[in-house]
């Protein structure tokens, strides 16, 4: 719990522009992960079709 409270203090100290860029980075990161997983899924489907 101490870690979270210190994190909150850090977030409050930072200005809003920093938090928005952080949010953008996180959303971009998850979008990239989702796209990568989707791409792997498509590749798996192609391979399974070729095996049949």
pLDDT in tens, 4-46: 677 677 667 665 666 678 778 888 899 998 999 999 999 999 9
Domain residues for 26? 16-51
Is 5 within a domain? no
- Say how many domains are in the chain: 1
According to the model, what pLDDT value does residue 5 have?
74
pTM: 0.49
In the 8-state DSSP scheme, what is residue 50?
Answer: H
Residue 2 pLDDT grade (very low, low, confident, very high; cuts 50, 70, 90): low
Q: What angle do CA 13, 19, 21 make, to 5 degrees?
A: 140
Tell me if 24 is assigned to some domain: yes
pLDDT reading at 1 higher than 70: no
- Please give the pLDDT value at position 25: 84
């Amino acid at each position: 719990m101490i870690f979270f409270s210190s994190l909150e203090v850090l977030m409050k100290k930072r200005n809003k522009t920093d938090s928005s860029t952080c949010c953008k980075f996180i959303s971009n990161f998850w979008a990239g992960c989702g796209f990568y997983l989707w791409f792997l899924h498509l590749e798996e489907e192609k391979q399974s079709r070729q095996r049949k």
